[in-house]
Amino acid sequence: MSSTTKSVNMGLVMGLAIGAALGGLLFGYDTAVISGAVEAIDHNFVQPRTELSELARNAMTGNAVGIALWGCFLGSLIAGPLATAIGRRSGMMIAAVLFFISSIMAGYPELGLGPIGGMGPDALTPFMVYRFLGGCAIGMASLISPLYIAEIAPAKQRGLLVTFQQIAIVGGMLLVYFVNLKIGEMGDDAWVLATGWRHMLASCAIPAALFFLAAFFMPDTPRWYVMKGHEEKAMKLLTSLDGPEVAKDTMSEIKDSLKEHSGKLFSFGAGVIVVGVLLSVFQQFVGINAVLYYAPLMFKNMGSGTDTALLQTVIVGAANVLFTLVATVTVDRWGRKPLLILGALMMAVSMALLGYFFQTHTEGTALLYAAIFYIAGFALSWGPVVWVLLSEMFPNSIKGPAMAVAVAAQWISNYIVTASFKVVDGDTAINAVFNHGLNYYVYAACSVLAALFVWKFVPETKGKTLEAIESLWKKS
């Protein structure tokens, strides 16, 4: 048998991975698009409520920005069972439809209820409903896309291919930062507050349509086919992906792994679930989404104008993409643990510096450099590597529900960080002491704890097959 027959069909593997990673692009795009609309939401829907206190208005803005995260929580909870019941491919298609609908309706929440721009603060309720719906789509895509990639990827290339998900996420963020910047340049600040923010939110419908088309033409994964008794389809796809000899071995491993355990969540003990949940929690508690959602506000706090703040946000987004690309060439060479520990220490240093710079009223490029160093630390480690670990660490028989629990924990943590940031950052008494710096000190402390957690409790999974990783977890 020729070496060509035996070799992995990387063209097909890469094509399927890129198609699934479009879910990550939507994840990043829809997650970050809100950064350009935060001020407009506050201006149009919250500040006119003069009967409320400063704390209540800040909390309302935080909830409006963060409501999508409750949708993410629900979406991630249902995504695991849904992907098991109807397939990874069908789950991605449903997420794409939800993305499309929610994007348009969040931009124009008055549709069907009243004149566009004529409902005033009352439009906040339908806006939050549609953002919640978009969050459901993000939650589904955040679980199903990396799960799909991990299940079609050869073991030696799995780390690289699953990082495609994170490249797509940060690429989507960078793309929408550019879109927001260009829309912001179409008019003055008043136009952005009145109309421009609507175009920003509705623009997500375009990549949503592309994701649906990609998923429509993709097969499901071999592991799902085996779970559902479609062994011929699984074998045909495995042969196309890995060649016939590797396909036979992989098929045998898949069937054995699905027979050995009950499929109940704790059939491998609690340890694997706890590690997955804490990885998700720490990925958020290091403060990444406070930086990504509120980047323009952060730069305005530094003294920048609207256009400059949006441009600086683009610079941060570009750094995010660049260092995520670094992760793609290191995750399968250095391993998962070294990258996570290195990144956590980089984030601890940069967040401590950001807190100090804000507290001491330091101005200039020092804050921008600290923010870029923080993004670099996250992008080469906790951004992509956590998704790699979550997609590969859970045994086949519990992968769907276990990922659902871990990713749901991630979105709850994300909400806590996102909603609390605006409350703390807008508090007059706290700012009298810390001048917008307290949040960053907290994130620095969490980054140190994250490094210690990985060093002590997270196993290395580099180069192991999904089935071999099961041996790392022993039921207690």
The structure tokens listed for 284 are: 């958020």
CA 196 remoteness from chain centre: 25
User: Using the 8-state DSSP alphabet, how is residue 396 labeled?
Assistant: G
pLDDT: which is higher, 110 or 334: 110
Distances (CA, A) of 389 to 194, 331, 395, 459: 43, 11, 12, 10
pLDDT band at 5 (very low <50, low <70, confident <90, very high): very low
Helices 155-184 and 10-32 pack at an angle, to 10 degrees, of 40
Q: Tell me, what DSSP letter sits at residue 464?
A: -
With cut-offs at 50, 70 and 90, classify the pLDDT of residue 2.
very low
Q: How many alpha carbons fall within 13 Å on the CB side of residue 304?
A: 19
Per-residue pLDDT averaged across 152-162, rounded? 73
Task: State how far the Cα of 64 lies from the Cα of 61, in Å rounded to an integer.
Answer: 5
Mean pLDDT of the chain: 81
Note the pLDDT tens digit of each residue in 445-474: 999 999 999 998 888 776 666 566 666 665
C-alpha–C-alpha distance, residues 19 and 167, integer Å = 13
C-alpha torsion 40→98→116→28, nearest 10 = 20
- At 1, the pLDDT band (50, 70, 90 cuts) reads very low
With contact defined as beta carbons under 8 Å apart, do 202 and 104 qualify?
yes
Cα→Cα distances 365→126, 351, 370, 425, 475, Å: 40, 15, 9, 21, 52
Tell me the C-alpha distance between 72 and 65, whole Å.
13
Read off the amino acid at residue 336: R
Query: How is residue 193 annotated by DSSP?
Result: I
Q: Which two tokens stand for residue 93?
A: 């298609």
pLDDT digits (tens, 9 = 90+) for 69-98: 788 888 988 888 888 889 999 999 999 999
The pLDDT value recorded for residue 6 is: 46
Has residue 109 got a pLDDT over 50? yes
Flag whether pLDDT at 437 surpasses 50: yes
